[in-house]
Amino acid sequence: MDRLDGVARHEGDAAARTALSAEPDHLPRHLWWVLAALTFAWGFNWTAMKVALSEVPPWTFRTLCLGLGSAVLFAALRAGGQALAVPKGQWGRLSLLAFLNITCWNMLIAFGVALIPSGRASVLAYTMPIWAIPLSVWVLGERIIPRRLAGLGLGMIALALLMGESLWGLGAAPAGSLMVLGAALCWALGTVLQKRLPVRMPLGAYTAWMMLLGGVPIFIGAMLLEDVRVLRDVSLAPALGVTYNVFVSFAFAHWAWIKLATSVPVGVFSVAMLIIPVIGVLSGVVFLGERPRWTEVAALFCVLGALTTVIRRRPP
């Protein structure tokens, strides 16, 4: 559990600004494994989620993911002897970040996916960099260097290729599309504010508390809107989908994305995330028997090109 150790953010705003100025302009090698693991964890999750939601109601599904996922992470941290207490004065910031990154994201995605195809929803969700990079310039004062702008451009071309003709169908279900875009905006704002409003606690505990606090409104929604007794009739495949989400997509992947988001500039992190929807589409080919199109292959090459702009060190 040593890899879960480390401070989520520094002691105060002045120290946070100093840390921001010292961040690398690329994704360091020691974080490549985190990005690779996160990419496959969340990329394959769209398939696992589709299978799980075939029998598990959405609010109950999110409750299981966040409740059990945070419990697994808390248990692992406790077994590793790490501190779990939230320091005095940090509850407000932690609650705000949990609301944006967990509550709003999960609630808007849950409603949006019910109204539009899941493939379209997954791609719309990863328009996050469109919002995050301008926000990072405005809120954090980050500079948009040409190489990073080129990476963003390649990533957006990849998303457009993945959407294909579905781009013309956004108006057919504007409410669903707007909800998923709203989720992307909340994720972008939450990612930026993680740097602007640093939380002074270990990264693992910070992740677990964010999942738990952000899940509270969802837990309440599940109790009010759904009947958990339907879980008694869930078959093996959806149960495995839920299990994957609890242990991989939530307990591990949420720690991984926060690790990346708090270690590199928002622009670097945002471009790096663009490979996830490509893996999501490819997972449908592998596990659901969907046939790949030339647009998906082209999108993969565009994203790989975008990744080279953030994993390579800028020449001196």
The more confident residue out of 140 and 122 is 140
Burial state string for 182-192 with b = 16 or more CB within 10 A and e = fewer than 16: bbbbbbbbbbb
Distance CA 149, CA 202 (A): 32
User: Residue 9's pLDDT is what?
Assistant: 46
Decide if pLDDT at 260 tops 90. Answer: no
Residue 245 belongs to a domain:
yes
Mean pLDDT, the chain, rounded, equals 80
Asked if residue 263 lies in contact with residue 78, where contact means CB atoms within 8 angstroms, the answer is no
Least confident of 20-29, 54-63, 154-163, 291-300: 20-29
Residue 19 lies in a domain: no
Domain of 208, in residue numbers: 28-311
Regarding pTM above 0.85, the answer is: no
Q: Does residue 18 belong to any structural domain of this protein?
A: no
Give the pLDDT score at 11.
43
- State in Å, rounded, how far the first CA of the chain is from the last one: 36
Q: Are 259 and 241 in contact (CB under 8 A)?
A: no
Return d(Cα 87, Cα 199) in angstroms, integer: 9
Decide if 67 is inside a domain: yes
Number of domains in the chain: 1
- Give the tens place of pLDDT for each residue, 215-237: 999 999 999 999 988 899 999 99
65: tokens are 């993911």
Question: What pLDDT, in 10s, does the model give residues 40-78?
Answer: 898 888 778 878 888 998 899 999 999 999 999 999 999
- Asked, for residue 1, whether it belongs to a domain, the answer is no
β-pair partners for 7: 202
| 271 lies in some domain | yes
Residues 6+ apart with CB under 8 A from 232: none
Give residue-wise pLDDT tens across range 3-31: 444 444 444 444 445 454 456 567 778 88
Q: Is residue 292 included in any domain, yes or no?
A: yes
Kind and range of the H or E run holding 288: helix 275-288
Which of 32-46, 82-96, 122-136 is predicted least confidently?
122-136
- 10 is a domain residue: no
Q: Which residue has the tokens 């504010």?
A: 193
